[in-house]
């Protein structure tokens, strides 16, 4: 089939490349000339495993072309995927200006029937606003359909998730639109992937509902982790136990410093606002947000508890991206943690396998902040090591070398990447999230525990 994808950002580019790779001919419209130059050279402007190779292959085999001319894109196909950004506005709502702009351009350029598909995450009933805009600006009285086909791509797994979806959700309002989707997604339904045909409003809600449920799971396990720390139970054992229930599932039950990224935080806020605009109070999501925001404070308290004074201490930080296998730092927990440590006058040595360049743009080097190109270099004379993103190379670090390089063998693990038993044997002072603190024989630690137990007794 011939397909047009409007927007070559994270969602649009992955959609365009993957639809080309399953045999369609795809034109992708991108207004940023810098991005377009890279794409036309077969270079992917975003880092996603296997995206670069797939992009190059489909450009070489002429199934994928890029343009900045919207008219060319609109006239190329009757299937138009709208993949432009819906960033968070200042009041926590989704900024729909790019979607409206594209809807108007489609109206002004369409010369035949069009199936206009919302791929970006959009508030419920956006399909009605797109329809109104097209009717308002269309030059000719042409037939068209609006549909919703939300994406469920995780950063770092975007191509994998597109090519191996748990299900494909499609909201349609006509049999014609339904038939076009059945043809387009036949390569997936032929291998048994579930194509769920529903109404537009339902499809729009499903996207927000999925993301916010994932966030609820994360805040739930983080809430449990706080209890586990006080009763010396390993949160991962609890997560394994509840996650073994198929109705719950183990995924998204990893306790840590909380969720970040360009989707979960934004979608939760937008969903709360959408509900409130219909007079419904999403208090459960507000609590989810609150628990997540507080993870930063709790992690900093853990640092203070175990470092004592932070001032003038040399602290190594492993992990700046909001999750592994991405260079994306949007809403990353590391940003707040590092800003607070700088305010506390610590000296920071930062390392991340991919996200350093992006992070540097927000937090430039200065006399308190150094960026290192190697995780071990970041450890030299460090009084503590903080793990904020669970990159594979951190899990595989040589702990003997880590201990040798550090001034004090103190690790505060915000993503539970190490096994406490292994750490115990290496005689580290080790703290993680929701697991009994494992310490070597250390006067300060036992004084600290005695002080805490005394204060608990006083409170009884």
* Interaction site with ligand UDX (CB under 6 A): 151-155, 211, 214, 218, 252-254, 256, 258-261, 263-264, 322-323
Dist CA 333 CA 7 (whole Å):
28
The secondary structure element, H or E, covering residue 108 is: helix 97-109
Q: Which of 24, 101, 96 is nearest to 58 (CA)?
A: 24
State how far the alpha carbon of 256 is from the alpha carbons of 88, 320, 357, in Å: 25, 14, 24
Three-class DSSP category at 384 = strand
CA dihedral 199, 82, 186, 192 (to 10 degrees): -70
Closer residue to ligand UDX (CB): 252 or 445: 252
* Paired residues of 438 in beta bridges: 430
**Rg of the chain, C-alpha, whole Å:** 25
Dist CA 206 CA 394 (whole Å):
35
CA 104 to chain centroid, in Å, comes to 30
- Number of other CB atoms surrounding residue 202 within 10 Å: 14
Q: Which of 71, 33, 24 is nearest to 183 (CA)?
A: 24
Least Å distance, CB 182 to ligand UDX, is 23
Closer residue to ligand UDX (CB): 259 or 318: 259
Dist CA 400 CA 184 (whole Å):
54
Q: Which of 114, 92, 91, 88 is nearest to 4 (CA)?
A: 114
Cβ atoms of 417 and 387 within 8 Å: the answer is yes
Least Å distance, CB 140 to ligand UDX, is 36
Catalytic choice (18, 28, 83, 263): 263
Q: 83 an active-site residue?
A: no
Beta strand 194-198 pairing with 314-318: unpaired
* Paired residues of 4 in beta bridges: 27, 80
* Paired residues of 170 in beta bridges: 197
Closer residue to ligand UDX (CB): 79 or 329: 329
The tokens describing 394, both together, are 């951190």
Closer residue to ligand UDX (CB): 104 or 160: 160
Closer residue to ligand UDX (CB): 114 or 266: 266
Least Å distance, CB 104 to ligand UDX, is 27
Closer residue to ligand UDX (CB): 13 or 65: 13
Least Å distance, CB 24 to ligand UDX, is 22
Least Å distance, CB 232 to ligand UDX, is 22
Beta strand 64-67 pairing with 144-148: unpaired
Closer residue to ligand UDX (CB): 164 or 398: 164
Least Å distance, CB 16 to ligand UDX, is 17
Closer residue to ligand UDX (CB): 87 or 368: 87
Three-class DSSP category at 451 = helix
- Our separate counts of H helices and E strands in the chain read 19, 14
Dist CA 185 CA 132 (whole Å):
28
Least Å distance, CB 212 to ligand UDX, is 10
* Residues identified as active-site: 263
């Amino acid at each position: 089939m011939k397909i047009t994808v409007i927007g070559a950002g994270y969602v649009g580019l992955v959609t365009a490349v993957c639809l080309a790779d399953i045999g369609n001919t795809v034109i992708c419209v991108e207004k940023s000339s810098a991005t377009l130059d890279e794409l036309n050279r077969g270079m992917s402007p975003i880092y996603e495993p296997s995206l670069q190779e797939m992009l190059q292959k489909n450009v070489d085999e002429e199934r994928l072309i890029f343009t900045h001319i919207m008219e060319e894109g609109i006239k190329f196909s009757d299937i138009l995927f709208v993949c432009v950004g819906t960033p968070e506005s200042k009041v926590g709502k989704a900024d729909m200006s790019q979607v409206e702009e594209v809807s108007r351009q489609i109206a002004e350029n369409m010369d035949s029937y069009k199936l206009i598909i919302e791929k970006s995450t959009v508030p419920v009933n956006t399909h009605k606003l797109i329809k109104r805009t097209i009717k308002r600006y269309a030059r000719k009285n042409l037939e068209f359909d609006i549909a919703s086909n939300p994406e469920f791509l995780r950063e770092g797994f975007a191509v994998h998730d597109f090519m191996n979806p748990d299900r494909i959700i499609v909201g349609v309002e006509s049999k014609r639109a339904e038939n076009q989707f059945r043809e387009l997604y036949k390569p997936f339904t032929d291998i048994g992937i579930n194509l769920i045909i529903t109404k537009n409003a339902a499809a729009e809600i499903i996207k927000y509902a999925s993301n916010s449920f994932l966030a609820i799971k994360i805040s739930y396990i983080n809430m449990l982790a706080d209890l586990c720390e006080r009763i010396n139970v390993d949160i991962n054992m609890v997560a394994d136990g509840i996650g073994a229930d198929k109705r719950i599932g183990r995924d998204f039950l990893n306790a840590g410093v909380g969720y970040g990224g360009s989707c979960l935080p934004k979608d939760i806020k937008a969903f709360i606002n959408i509900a409130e605009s219909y007079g419904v109070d999403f208090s459960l999501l507000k609590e989810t947000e609150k628990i997540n925001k507080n993870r930063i404070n709790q992690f900093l308290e853990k640092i203070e508890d175990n470092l004592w004074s932070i001032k003038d201490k040399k602290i190594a930080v492993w992990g700046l991206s909001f999750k592994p296998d991405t260079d994306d730092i949007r809403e990353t927990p590391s940003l707040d943690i590092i800003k607070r440590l700088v305010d506390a006058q610590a000296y920071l040595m930062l390392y991340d396998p991919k996200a350093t360049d992006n992070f540097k743009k927000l937090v430039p080097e200065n006399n308190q902040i150094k960026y290192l190109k190697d995780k071990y270099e970041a450890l030299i004379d460090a009084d503590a090591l903080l793990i904020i993103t669970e990159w594979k190379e951190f899990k595989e670090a040589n702990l003997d070398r880590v201990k040798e390089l550090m001034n004090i063998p103190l690790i505060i693990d915000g993503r539970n990447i190490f096994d406490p038993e292994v750490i115990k044997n290496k005689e580290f002072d080790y703290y993680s999230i929701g697991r009994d603190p494992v310490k070597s024989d250390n006067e300060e630690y036992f004084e600290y525990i005695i002080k805490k137990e005394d204060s608990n007794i006083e409170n009884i």
